[in-house]
Amino acid sequence: MDTQDSSQPPTIDRIAFIGNYLPRQCGIATFTTDLLQAVAGEYSQTHCIALPVNDTEEGYSYPPPVRFELVEKDIESYHRAADFLNINNIDVVSLQHEYGIFGGRAGSHILALLRELRMPIVTTLHTVLQDPTVDQRRVLEEIADQSDRLVVMSERAVEFLHEIYGVNPDKIDMIPHGIPDVPFVDPSFFKDQFGVEGKTVLLSFGLLSPNKGYENVINALPAILEKHPNVVYIILGATHPHVLRRDGETYRLSLQRLAQKKGVEGQVIFYNRFVDLQELTEFIGAADIYITPYLDEKQIVSGTLAYTLGAGKAVVSTPYWYAQEMLADERGVLVPFNKPAALSDEIICLLDDAPKRHAMRKRAYLFGRDMIWPEVARRYRESFEKARRRRRHGAPAGFAVKPLDKRPLELPPLKLDHLCRMTDDTGMLQHALFTVPNYREGYCLDDNARALITTVHLEELGHSQAFELASRYMAFIAYAFNPQTGRFRNFMNYQRHWLEESGSDDSHGRALWALGTVLGRSNKPALQSIAVWLYEQALPAILETTSPRAWAFAILGINEYLRRFDGDRRARQTREELAQRLLVLYNNCRTDDWRWFEDRLAYNNAVLSQAMIMCGQWLPNSEMSHAGLESLGWLTELQRSGADDGHFVPIGSNGFHQRGGERARFDQQPLEAQATVSACLEAYRCTGDARWQREARRAYEWFLGRNDLNLSLYDPDTGGCYDALHSDRLNENQGAESTLAFLHTLLELRLTENTLKPPNG
């Protein structure tokens, strides 16, 4: 029994900080490092450790406070981190949340960690979106639910959490962004260190990326220099590592070319490096005016603005949310977005009026006294203590022991042995004799397209073999394309001879699905270059096809493609045309007792509903949404044994199901389970209805033995999947289609990380 006086603050001896950490180069890493050091500095008896997230395979050379490293896209590392924290008796976890640093859809991997923790959680939200996607909203709402306290850095963030996400304001602590405690000094004190003595210094700093708007300052410089020829503009900071890996130094080079074009290259100084805190404070000290010309209003916090405001700098900024709040009451000047002339006018005004500039500096410096790290550390400590008291007076319901059917879905380890066995230098072979590739049956485009989609998901999860495998499947698809017909060939024998000039409509649609997935999700330039070349040539032919499934496959690919290239008018028009065709089929065929697109349920059925649901959401079109959800609901009820708690029974391929006739119970195919899982996940993402969680879980568990024969189709020894469930046995061959169906399902579930959590679980 706990006899400690509940009026006394609970003891906090061990705190774990989860987030990026120096020497990784990003704002979250700097913040997490500074916060840990500030708390440890103020409370010397408290042991503080860090759990950073690695975005590269090699990781980083971390300092001693780092005790455990998470791998961004490896969901298992999040489970291991939860175990590590639980067994090390951590008193409080301080999570730094930003969507882009955690793996999974909208950073959902972090949920796997939070659900397993047994100690209070205080989450600092570095981004609170006004218009989140369905996935972003779901992730943040669950983080809020799992956390005992939420910390934000602006009043607008408090409003958003309450009004948009339904968070009780009593659970929210508004704590300002921490800043170093620096003296209020004359800028001339530091200028000689950077060779700009006697100059008037304009400064911008931060990791370079195209959203920073530095080009607007360069465009404003000629007018500024005409009045104040001694001005120099310093751009301090390395290119953001993610931008560098994707685009190289393209943005920095564009700024340099612009400076030359404007004739101001002698007044623009680039310091291309990530500086430590000491050097940063010296750069800030040397600045006469600090400029944040960001392009997007939707920025809820800015560490660079906090630093310069607290150092007593005169600030000119565009009116993003955080700047509006921090620079109110004449602590700075706001100028419209993308208006170089307005920027030059305000800078000239401040340089012409020294008393005004210095008064602004003083107001900013005094305002920043509550933001220095020792003050912020004390505020965080208070938040940690509130969280600890709350947890002592009533553990969340999630700690209760749950029966088996209420536990989160457990996913088997990812094993690629059989996938690799079925893949040779040409591509993926079609069939197997037991677990050995069957050369006699050769290759097909269908399976290589499925395999390419699978490897893109592997890339998203950070798997080391993803690119090597994807290159082989992409090469096969490229070779399959026939430029004379604008169509893909499908079947190839083992001697690499094509058996046809044009493949089926469905294989063409699947190829477009795979290419669109590469273009929408992959970050490999080599794959993207080939994919876009093929996609542009192959897309028009889909309108000549007559197969509804081909249309549905193509729609899935177009939706993936438009994730990244939303402005492509031809792709959008093609999607709308195909979606309208499916809707016409549905309206012409549907009756109260047959809610389907055709007079027969055949193969890969759920993909038709999935395509409708997607188009209903993204066109948007409510009639399509209704058709997709209604048809999927009817299909899932039909594919179930008995009542609501029955198991998944897909339409058998030995006869399928004609309207008015008997449905075939066998042979049951893995492809049907995969298609049903994907469609139900899409329905859940669009509606938030827990019914679709249950249906997706039901279809997934068919692979693992919750089926008519209570036999597992997944083979954990090989990582493959048996080809079918017969009436009395398994088909013991492990071919490409079945193995890819299971892997696709497993990877999609990992990317959605525990979307299939049980209701109220």
- Which CATH number do you get for residue 620? 1.50.10.10
Res 645: pLDDT: 81
Residues spanned by the domain of 333: 188-369
Please answer whether residues 717 and 759 qualify as being in contact, where contact means their C-beta atoms are separated by less than 8 angstroms: no
Res 8: pLDDT: 54
Res 402: pLDDT: 35
Instruction: Tell me the three-class secondary structure of 355-392, residue by residue.
Output: HHHHHHHHHHHHHHHHHEHHHHHHHHHHHHHHHHHHHH
Q: Are residues 75 and 221 in the same domain?
A: no
Q: Are residues 351 and 496 in the same domain?
A: no
Res 743: pLDDT: 97
Q: Of 579, 581, 599, 577, which Cα lies nearest the Cα of 590?
A: 599
Res 5: pLDDT: 45
When pLDDT is averaged across residues 261-274 and rounded to a whole number, the result is 91
Residue 566 inside a domain? The answer is: yes
What type of residue sits at position 68?
F
| Tens of pLDDT, residues 360-383 | 999 999 999 999 999 999 999 999
> What is the separation of C-alpha 691 from the centre of its chain, rounded to a whole number of angstroms?
24
| Banded pLDDT at 404 (limits 50, 70, 90) | very low
Residue 404 inside a domain? The answer is: no
Q: Are residues 353 and 317 in the same domain?
A: yes
DSSP code string of 629-670: HHHHHHHHHHTBSSSTTPPB-PPPTTT-EETTSPPP--SB-H
Res 396: pLDDT: 42
Q: Are residues 213 and 164 in the same domain?
A: no
When pLDDT is averaged across residues 498-508 and rounded to a whole number, the result is 96
Res 498: pLDDT: 97
Is residue 161 predicted with pLDDT exceeding 90?
yes
Q: Do the bridges between strand 14-18 and strand 92-97 make them parallel or antiparallel, or are there none, so unpaired?
A: parallel
Task: Give the span between the Cα atoms of 35 and 17, in whole angstroms.
Answer: 9
When pLDDT is averaged across residues 100-105 and rounded to a whole number, the result is 90
Question: What backbone torsions phi and psi does residue 47 show, to the nearest 5 degrees?
Answer: -90, 120
Is residue 399 predicted with pLDDT exceeding 50?
no
Res 668: pLDDT: 97
Q: Are residues 553 and 644 in the same domain?
A: yes
Residue 427 inside a domain? The answer is: yes
Q: What is the CATH number of the domain that holds 195?
A: 3.40.50.2000
| Banded pLDDT at 398 (limits 50, 70, 90) | very low
Q: Are residues 451 and 336 in the same domain?
A: no
Residue 360 inside a domain? The answer is: yes
Is residue 278 predicted with pLDDT exceeding 60?
yes
| Tens of pLDDT, residues 671-709 | 999 999 999 999 999 999 999 999 999 999 999 999 999
In angstroms and rounded to an integer, the radius of gyration of the C-alpha atoms of the chain is 29
Higher pLDDT: 276 or 184? It is: 184
| Tens of pLDDT, residues 545-592 | 999 999 999 999 999 999 888 889 999 999 999 999 999 999 999 999
Q: The pTM is what?
A: 0.63
Higher pLDDT: 10 or 69? It is: 69
Residue 3 inside a domain? The answer is: no
Q: Are residues 153 and 205 in the same domain?
A: no
Q: Are residues 202 and 235 in the same domain?
A: yes
Q: Are residues 677 and 736 in the same domain?
A: yes
| Tens of pLDDT, residues 408-430 | 566 888 999 999 999 999 999 99
Q: Are residues 167 and 254 in the same domain?
A: no
| Banded pLDDT at 87 (limits 50, 70, 90) | confident
What type of residue sits at position 573?
Q
Is residue 400 predicted with pLDDT exceeding 90?
no
Residue 464 inside a domain? The answer is: yes
Q: Which residue has the tokens 């392009």?
A: 295
Res 279: pLDDT: 84
DSSP type of residue 59: -
Secondary structure tally for the chain: helices H, strands E? 27, 26
When pLDDT is averaged across residues 18-30 and rounded to a whole number, the result is 93
| Banded pLDDT at 119 (limits 50, 70, 90) | very high
Average pLDDT, the chain: 91
- Residue 254 burial (C-beta neighbours within 10 Å; 0-12, 13-18, 19+): middle
Phi-psi region of 642 (alpha: psi -120 to 50; beta: other; left: phi over 0): left
Res 409: pLDDT: 67
When pLDDT is averaged across residues 186-202 and rounded to a whole number, the result is 89
| Banded pLDDT at 484 (limits 50, 70, 90) | very high
> What is the separation of C-alpha 326 from the centre of its chain, rounded to a whole number of angstroms?
29
| Tens of pLDDT, residues 255-265 | 999 999 999 99
When pLDDT is averaged across residues 490-519 and rounded to a whole number, the result is 97
Residue 406 inside a domain? The answer is: no
| Tens of pLDDT, residues 31-47 | 999 999 999 999 999 99
Residue 183 inside a domain? The answer is: no
Higher pLDDT: 635 or 645? It is: 635
Task: Give the span between the Cα atoms of 646 and 634, in whole angstroms.
Answer: 15
Res 10: pLDDT: 58
Q: Are residues 664 and 742 in the same domain?
A: yes
Res 564: pLDDT: 87
Task: Give the span between the Cα atoms of 442 and 427, in whole angstroms.
Answer: 10
| Tens of pLDDT, residues 334-348 | 999 999 999 999 999
Q: Of 467, 604, 609, 607, which Cα lies nearest the Cα of 527?
A: 467
- Count the domains in the chain: 3
Is residue 510 predicted with pLDDT exceeding 90?
yes
Task: List helix spans (H) across 481-596.
Answer: 505-521, 525-538, 548-564, 569-589
Question: What backbone torsions phi and psi does residue 239 show, to the nearest 5 degrees?
Answer: -65, 140
Res 601: pLDDT: 97
Question: What does the angle CA 278 – CA 282 – CA 287 come to, to the nearest 5 degrees?
Answer: 150
Q: Are residues 321 and 346 in the same domain?
A: yes
